[in-house]
């Protein structure tokens, strides 16, 4: 009887209004945007130390969440994940290389937690060259993917190679080279290139890839050695940087390289500045007198080693406050210090 009454009411509505009631959407359905153009994300968006995540990005972002081999949940932009699945299958089938996602999208709050943890454990300068400032991380986009790989054992089991210090070992360079050679075919680029830290703001990371949505665009970028996303979008290549780390009897080249990388990563946050040269100033800067001066600049520091570097660069019209616009700076000093078992920290900067 109830069913008959309901049918009669529905028929009456059709007669009166010439339409039928629209069924309610399923709970998992996503509303269609009024303007697809306004709601679409820009797959070429630049997010770095100078460019924050675009406004309303999260409103348009569509993601999937997966669980990796070590049980961590990873959230990824949906098209980037579909492309990664194709890359992963190719590597497994044709090269016997097994990859997993370590991380992809991070919220601003999660990025702040990472920054706080690294700062407390390693110091502010180490954190600045390895962790993006909250709101300025490419990982906020969902398009940046950090990989790790799995080594297949003779018995068919897998060993996860998960930590950065392990993945950077010499024995895995060829493996990374194979992975990198296939990125562009699936719309990915290698984001943080070796030698380009003064542009990207970060040290070389073989595991950090970025989805740009177009295989043609990815191939155009990846076919030019040393070309960063920043340079591609700007339509110009930065000049080659002259580097001189010679002449020290106190520090190894490796130790001076670590100090130089701290400087280059910091320099990347200087808007409209073009780096030309970096050189080690000499062992006389590592004197006890200079070390005492650096320790006096901040209460509670107990640095045990010091180093000075000199930089040549050009400050453009939109350079940061404190720099004269359109001026070439020469022998601009950078002072760094560290404890016996610590990382280099930038203590003083200036002419």
Q: Tokens 């070390």 sit at which residue?
A: 291
Q: Are 348 and 294 contacting, i.e. CB atoms less than 8 angstroms apart?
A: yes
| Cα–Cα–Cα angle for 93, 96, 100, rounded to 5 degrees | 90
Q: Are residues 170 and 297 in the same domain?
A: no
Cα separation, 280 vs 286, in Å, equals: 11
pLDDT of residue 256: 97
Segment holding 198, helix H or strand E: helix 197-200
Q: Are residues 225 and 257 in the same domain?
A: no
Q: Sign of the CA dihedral 243, 246, 250, 253?
A: positive
Q: Are residues 220 and 252 in the same domain?
A: no
What are the residue ranges in the chain where pLDDT is below 70? Answer: 1-38, 125, 129
Q: Are residues 99 and 214 in the same domain?
A: yes
pLDDT of residue 228: 98
Cα separation, 221 vs 188, in Å, equals: 10
Q: Please indicate, yes or no, if residue 30 is contained in any of the structural domains.
A: no
Q: Please indicate, yes or no, if residue 32 is contained in any of the structural domains.
A: no
Q: Are residues 131 and 267 in the same domain?
A: no
Q: Are residues 188 and 132 in the same domain?
A: yes
From residue 160, how far is each of 72, 99, 102, 294 by CA, in Å? Answer: 13, 9, 11, 42
Q: Are strands 188-190 and 98-103 parallel, antiparallel or unpaired?
A: unpaired
From residue 103, how far is each of 21, 110, 114, 136 by CA, in Å? Answer: 44, 12, 13, 16
CATH number of the domain within which 138 lies: 3.30.1380.10
| Closest to 156 measured CA to CA, from 96, 89, 226, 224 | 96
Q: Are residues 99 and 152 in the same domain?
A: yes
DSSP state of 283: G
Counting the structural domains of the chain, the total is 2
Domain span including residue 173 = 41-234
What is the distance, to the nearest Å, from the Cα of residue 279 to the centroid of all Cα atoms in its chain?
Answer: 26
pLDDT of residue 24: 34
Q: Tokens 């595991």 sit at which residue?
A: 207
Q: Please indicate, yes or no, if residue 340 is contained in any of the structural domains.
A: yes
Tens-digit pLDDT profile for residues 250-306: 999 999 999 999 999 999 999 999 999 999 999 998 999 999 999 999 888 899 999
Tens-digit pLDDT profile for residues 133-153: 889 999 999 999 999 999 999
Q: Are residues 135 and 282 in the same domain?
A: no
Q: Are strands 158-161 and 188-190 parallel, antiparallel or unpaired?
A: unpaired
User: Which structure tokens are listed for 173?
Assistant: 């360079």
pLDDT of residue 38: 55
Q: Please indicate, yes or no, if residue 8 is contained in any of the structural domains.
A: no
Q: Please indicate, yes or no, if residue 15 is contained in any of the structural domains.
A: no
pLDDT of residue 27: 35
């Amino acid at each position: 009887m109830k069913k008959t009454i309901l049918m009669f009411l529905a028929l009456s509505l059709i007669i009166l209004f010439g339409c039928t009631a629209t069924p309610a959407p399923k709970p998992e359905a996503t509303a269609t945007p009024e303007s697809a153009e306004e709601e679409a994300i820009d797959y070429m968006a630049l997010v770095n130390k100078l460019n924050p995540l675009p406004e309303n990005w999260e409103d348009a972002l569509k993601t999937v969440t997966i669980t990796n081999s070590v049980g961590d949940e990873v959230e990824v932009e949906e098209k980037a994940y579909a492309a990664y699945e194709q890359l992963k299958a190719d590597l497994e089938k044709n090269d016997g290389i097994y990859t997993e996602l370590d991380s992809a999208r991070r919220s601003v709050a999660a990025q702040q937690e990472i920054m706080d943890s690294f700062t407390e454990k390693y110091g502010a300068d180490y954190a600045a060259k390895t962790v993006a400032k909250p709101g300025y991380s490419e990982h906020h986009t969902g398009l940046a993917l950090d990989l790790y790989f799995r080594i297949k054992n003779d018995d068919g089991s897998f060993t996860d190679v998960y930590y950065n210090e392990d993945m950077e070992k010499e024995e895995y360079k060829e493996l990374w080279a194979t992975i990198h050679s296939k990125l562009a075919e699936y719309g990915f680029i290698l984001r943080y290139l070796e030698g380009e830290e003064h542009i990207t703001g970060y040290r070389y990371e073989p595991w950090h890839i970025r989805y740009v949505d177009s295989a043609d665009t990815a191939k155009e970028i990846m076919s030019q050695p040393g070309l960063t996303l920043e340079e591609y979008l700007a339509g110009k290549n930065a000049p080659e940087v002259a580097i001189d780390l010679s002449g020290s009897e106190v520090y190894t080249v490796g130790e001076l390289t670590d100090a130089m990388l701290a400087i280059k990563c910091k320099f990347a946050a200087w808007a409209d500045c073009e780096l030309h040269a970096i050189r080690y100033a000499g062992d006389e800067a590592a004197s006890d007198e200079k070390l005492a001066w650096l320790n006096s600049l901040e209460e509670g520091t107990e640095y045990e080693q010091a180093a000075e570097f000199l930089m040549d660069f050009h400050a453009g019209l939109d350079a940061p406050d404190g720099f004269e616009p359109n001026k070439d700076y020469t022998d601009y000093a950078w002072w760094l210090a560290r404890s016996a078992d610590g990382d280099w920290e930038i203590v003083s900067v200036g002419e």
